[in-house]
Structure 1
């Protein structure tokens, strides 16, 4: 499917802003990798290790496997590590490998199986540079979260703040407004492109439910473009309190713990 140049330019501009806005994620994940000794764990295995092996060598609970997979995904996208295709000798698991950059993360005293440690390490320098990400709320104590065994289902944000993002929004109107405004702006931006470039995906659909649809911006855009399409939105009660009414979006009715509003 050919995409209009205007849409390409808009999406590229959005991508550039995301790169700037989320640039701290690279620093934060690198700080966590240092805290957990991921490069050391892979180095001990000869420079190649599966996720399960990294988990064991870093002395992490098996309940953190999913979190470690997400962390390694971010680190491989950043180029800190590489990931190879799974093979029989790895038990079907993906194999993570050191890069020239991550070899510099290996501690000087770590034995790589040949009786010798890393020839050069920049870990002490990086620990100094990245220390703000390790000790501030920005880092959300992710390194400490990985070492927790009592609450595998609790996200780092909730560990740091005592409640998850949505619970905080329910208790703090200013934060709730910040979240809702952000989601609405994102919907306005993307739906203009989606409806221009991918409108055919809505053809032949009689009804649509937008789960966690916020203030209903996405569903409203679709309903305007396709009046014959019956749309519904589901979200939490505290979101409903800020939902607009009128136009083709009638007042939204709360139905704890979710709500449904016909458009």
Structure 2
């Protein structure tokens, strides 16, 4: 596949394939990505569960969308053993996932279908995609969850530019990530940009919980 001369993806310009196409075709690259995501979850989920674990209260079933090898889902399931936790990811990811007594895995494409659950969890997903694709994912999310009065919500862990401590290291890190995510043609969003895609997808309300410097937890309601 030849790199698209109109693409701004630095990864595709360098390799002739998108980041996701490379993961599908190269086993060692795919494994490296999944290992990195598990390491990130091992670090982050302890903090999320300690600082804002209330976002998971009352949820009976949760799907970790694009959850890789289940690092985040496993941590949530252990903290809330009554919750049924499932990971949805692409076939080449799921087939290499380790066995986990607390988490089940489903092979699928979040752009096409997300199985129903009380809540959906998406960590470091939306910044990988442009607005149009994010709206598509969010519409599939909205179809998968019950109404708000029945407990339905989407829990997002991602960057909200301008949120968090007003410190130089936070601002520098946000700028760094804004440049870094260009390799995927991704976007780091300010609150008004998040609100725009939420409203386009048909959601009614959201709440941002700033934590861990550059990352936030967003509760999104239908």
Report the TM-score range of the alignment, normalised by the length of the smaller protein. 0.3 to 0.5
Q: TM-score, normalised by structure 2?
A: 0.44
Which of the two has higher C-alpha Rg?
1
Q: TM-score, normalised by structure 1?
A: 0.38
Name whichever structure is richer in helix by fraction: 1
Name whichever structure is richer in strand by fraction: 2
If asked which structure has higher relative contact order (CA below 8 Å, sep 6+), I would say: 2
